[in-house]
Structure 1
Amino acid sequence: MLLWLLINLSCVQKQYLETGTVTNSLLFVAVMQSFYIFDGVLNEEGVLSMMDITTDGFGFMLAFGDLCWVPFTYSLQARYLSLRPVHLSPAAFSSVVAIMAIGYYIFHSSNSQKSKFRQGLLPHMNSIKTDRGTSLLVEGWWGLSQHINYFGDLLIALSWCLPTGFGTPLTYFYVIYFAFLLLHRQKRDEHKCRTKYGKSWAEYEKLVPYKIVPYVY
């Protein structure tokens, strides 16, 4: 993630040196992605509960993904904007800021709620007791969909791609790839939970039928 940050900063520098200014589209992408990166670094303990750590373990996928895939594909928007400057109108700029803010709010507050619930800080919230002695939260953000944090993450991803305009599908690679990644992860998690929780998971699916996007999927 830090290499991703450095590539973005080099793109900002390139545009500034060549044009003497930095467009609001590139500035938005660079600043918002930097914010996302620093938020992930400062809240690193949240990473420990992700499927990458709890299930996959460290191997080729994570090694290649962390050192090559993430920094060199997630920075495509900044790299494109450094070569093809795009100036966003006030309305367009406000729109992408709003999408980013809503996505981050959903992502951050849902993850925070899940973390507090696991720590026993939200005992009043409705949940399903499983045979394993754990609980499945069915209220708040987690009553809207089984992976509501994924929905927030997708909105964030979309907000980073929209500033590039519609001149090429390449800059939308990130949100398209991310959607497939999260769908695949949701399917894997669903299979694991059905095996792990049995009838408790079936009850949970009746109360929270939507997988990622509330009232859609």
Structure 2
Amino acid sequence: MKLNKHKPAQLTEMEFGGILGATCIPVFLPLTVLYLLSVCRTPSGALLQWPPPLPHPAFLWDPLAAVIITGWIGLQSALYQFPVGRVSEGLALRDGTRLKYQINGFHALCMTAMLLGLCVSLGMPLGYLFDLILPLAVCAICVSYLLALYLYIGSFWAPAHALALGGNTGNPLYDFFIGRELNPRIGSFDLKFFCELRPGLIGWVVLNMAMMMKEVELRDSPSLAMLLVNGFQLLYVMDALWNEEAVLTTMDIVHDGFGFMLAFGDLAWVPFTYGLQAMFLVVHPRSLSPPTVIGIILLNGLGYYIFRKSNSQKNQFRRDPNHRSVAHLETIATATGKRLLVSGWWGFVRHPNYLGDILMALAWSLPCGFSHILPYFYVIYFSILLVHREARDERQCRAKYGIAWDNYCRRVPYRIIPYIY
């Protein structure tokens, strides 16, 4: 292969705190994961306890965890290449080409569930993953670092048009963090698309199931709170994989390079922090009254309805603006030839899907009660993430659509929460 000597297009504006953020985040976020998991396993469950529950180094490594993580990524890689499902094209790249993607994430989830059921029926102690959670997280973090290093080095052999506009600042720390190459591939195997929805997302529900099995070992049956958390989050993952094709138009795929930020988020942050509620309930069980259960289910249902309906409307409009389900919606023309929705869900607030996401996140935490803030870490973090993501999207849309975006903002003044934000 020939080293790419063409100078790529560059953006001087840095995100996520620039070089300082790119230096600190890869250090402090992995430590945050390990700290949160350690706190979950303590009887007090307090985030600010003193002395902090720092794990002994001997409990951070287990060869079995390395085998499990390696085997898990290998299994999902094999399922990703399994010839089922359909092949879809992504959005046009800067050189006018479109990459093809194997859409079979839901099939991978179903096949994983069958294999998992077989393992449990053969007596495999799935609940043991609770005891291995720290070594598993350490191994996932190490894989994230190694993958990010491979991506950074490999990006210097990529053609200029394949590089992400925001990942070529010339600063190695920042470019390693944010990602230089937009869609790195090994043959037809798209590394970013694979990591986005496969090992981490499916691993999240597997770890949730392991927490439920651990609770069965300790108390003979799963609690209603544990069943709610598992059910809600399984629905979320199933929806993401059933609608896997929609991810091809998201900011992660279309705009962001693939570096440490996404690699760590996909492989370590998602499976080990999104399911903190289930782990918390293993050590801190909760009983729920029937009215409380009904209220939590209704809240999750409302969030899911808003999330799915708004995303479906947007995706249908992008695929076919003349489809009968969206043809009646009011739009604003832009200089790029695209049109912005100003009615329907997207005339309600600018990001109705984010509103649904936040409502669901709250419903996932409520089964854990109000005695600890730890189970609410996800909804707090995710709300901050969505506000930041909305601000990034706002900057890009204003630069892309100009006066049309200003007109849209006047028509739809609220960003995520109507009459509040």
Task: Determine the structure 1 residue equivalent to 2:401.
Answer: 197
Q: Does residue 230 of structure 2 align to residue 26 of structure 1?
A: no
| 1:55-109 deviation digits (Å, cap 9, x = unpaired) | 1132111111111000000110000111111111001101110110000000000
The one of 7, 12, 28 equivalent to 2:212 is: 12
Task: Determine the structure 2 residue equivalent to 1:94.
Answer: 294
- For residues 1-217 of structure 1, the aligned pairs below 5 Å read 1-118=201-318, 119-120=320-321, 121=323, 122-217=326-421
- By percentage of residues, which structure has more helix? 1
Tell me how far apart the structure 1 counterparts of residues 354 and 290 of structure 2 sit (CA, whole Å): 28
Which letter maps to 1:157? A
Greater shift in the superposed pair: 75-84 or 102-111:
75-84
| RMSD of aligned Cα (Å) | 0.8
Tell me how far apart the structure 1 counterparts of residues 355 and 289 of structure 2 sit (CA, whole Å): 27
Which letter maps to 2:218? E
1:37 is displaced (CA, Å) by 0.7
Which fold has the larger relative contact order, with Cα–Cα distance below 8 Å and residues 6 or more apart in sequence? 1
- What TM-score do the two structures reach when normalised by structure 1? 0.98
- What TM-score do the two structures reach when normalised by structure 2? 0.51
Which letter maps to 2:203? L
Which letter maps to 1:85? P
1:43 is displaced (CA, Å) by 0.9
Between the two proteins, what is the percent identity of the paired residues? 49
Tell me how far apart the structure 2 counterparts of residues 150 and 37 of structure 1 sit (CA, whole Å): 16
Q: Describe the SS at the equivalent of 1:56.
A: coil
1:215 is displaced (CA, Å) by 1.5
Tell me how far apart the structure 2 counterparts of residues 4 and 116 of structure 1 sit (CA, whole Å): 28
Q: Describe the SS at the equivalent of 2:336.
A: coil
| 1:173-216 deviation digits (Å, cap 9, x = unpaired) | 00000000000000000011111111101111110000001121
Aligned residues: 217
Q: Which runs of 5+ in 1 are unaligned?
A: none
1:124 is displaced (CA, Å) by 1.9
Moved over 6 A (4+): none
Which letter maps to 2:213? Q
Q: Which runs of 5+ in 2 are unaligned?
A: 1-200
